[in-house]
Amino acid sequence: MRYADVAKAERIRIYDVARVAGVSVATASKALNDTGRMTEATRTRVKQTAAALGFRPNAMARALTKHRSFTVGLLTNDTYGRFTLPVMAGVSEALVDQGVSVFLCGIEDDAALGKVHVDAMLDKQVDGIIATGKRIDRRLPVDLSGLPMPVVYAFTEGPEDAITLVSDDAQGAREAVEWLVQAGRKNIVHVTGPETFVSVGERARAFRAVVGEAGRVLHGPWSEAWGHEAVGRLWSEAGDKPDAVFCGNDQIARGVVDALRERGIVVPDQVSVVGFDNWEIVSAATRPPLTSVDMNLKELGREAGRLILELAEGKPVEPGVRQLPCKLVVRQSCGGVRRSSDQQGGVLEEV
């Protein structure tokens, strides 16, 4: 290809093709990539338009590395921001030194709104898209396959062949339960969220892998009220009472701690409690403050930022699901002793 041709190809953007063909940028992109669903007539019209305008699909990949827009789009359906904010903070941290800015687009669970935002990202030729959400077992209501820029999925489900980052729920749960066992707890109960969440199943399996298959798991809503109710149920039964409760999130754990205090049961002296999420507004305000599993969402965001940069620079990244480790943040609700950073025995510190 001669220089003049390249210059021309790079002047004609996918946006121009879409406009002239009367389709969205996403549709134009899919038509030229032979992906997505559309009538053959539409695909043909887009291809003919591209040819007539002198648009060269191959120029796109080159344009991405040569003419980077230094913007990355972050799509989320987590309007409350509980999970997206730390991810966003990590993404920003990874990108700011590279002069890359982040578009945050809240699409709720609205496919039409998702399409609007994806089209806008295509128009603006973002260097890449990071999709994030509030559940690792749910997809965003938009199809990001076949786009002319790289996509990384972080804390949301991606397609089979995608690059997906999730927290290692099983490892996080295992560390929490092992802590309780090391603290001498013999009768640990798991009070958690609805069975329909994949993360609930993973945490429950990890719990039983440590305490044995007879380990008791109680499911309910993700609320403080459920924590109260679970304590009411467990402590009204005959027989031995639990000496530790591992909770599926911090709100449930706060309900458990409050309910125990109201029964005159001292946490952690009589019963240890551990939460999940390490949402400080809840975990730090609980009396006593909650030990909780932190999913390291900021680090997950940083990693997503690093990967999208590598992809935008044309470097190869292996597809697949990457599980990032959680860490146990120890406060006063769990009892037991913290091993020093030297995990091979050594100094013990009482908490």
**Per-residue DSSP letter, 285:** T
Find the shortest distance in angstroms from Cβ 292 to its own copies.
15
The window from 162-170, 173-181, 240-248, 280-288 that contacts its own copies (CB under 8 A) reads 280-288
Q: Which is nearer to its own copies, 76 or 164 (CB)?
A: 76
Asked if 282 is part of the footprint of its own copies (rule: CB under 8 A), the reply reads: yes
Structure tokens that stand for 5 in this block = 């041709």
Minimum distance, C-beta of residue 109 to its own copies, in the bound complex (Å): 14
Nearer to its own copies, 222 or 321 (CB): 222
Residue 265, interface with its own copies (CB under 8 A)?
A: no
Q: Which of 7, 111, 266, 285 binds its own copies (CB under 8 A)?
A: 285
Q: Which helix (H) or strand (E) segment is 188 a member of?
A: strand 188-192
Burial class (CB in 10 A: 0-12, 13-18, 19+), 24: middle
Neighbours of 347 (CB within 10 A): 10
C-alpha 61/C-alpha 65 separation (Å) is 7
Tell me if 199 contacts its own copies by CB under 8 A.
no
- Interactions with its own copies, residue window 232-261 (CB under 8 A): 251, 254, 258
Q: 107 near 76, Cβ under 8 Å?
A: yes
Report phi then psi at 162, rounded to 5: -90, 170
Q: How far is the CB of 266 from its own copies (least distance, A)?
A: 14
Residue 185 CB, nearest approach to its own copies (Å): 27
Residues 150-179 that bind its own copies (CB under 8 A): none
* Residue 96 interacts with its own copies (CB under 8 A): yes or no: yes
Q: What are the C-alpha distances in Å from 328 to residues 167, 171, 178, 223, 294? A: 13, 10, 11, 21, 6
Paired strand residues for 152: 130, 163
Site string for its own copies, 69-88 (x = CB under 8 A): xxx-------xxx---x--x
Q: Percentage helix, strand, coil, to 5, in the chain? A: 40, 20, 40
Q: Which two tokens stand for residue 262?
A: 């109201």
Q: List residues binding its own copies (CB under 8 A).
A: 69-71, 79-81, 85, 88-89, 92, 96, 99, 101-106, 113, 116-117, 120-121, 123-124, 223-225, 251, 254, 258, 281-282, 285
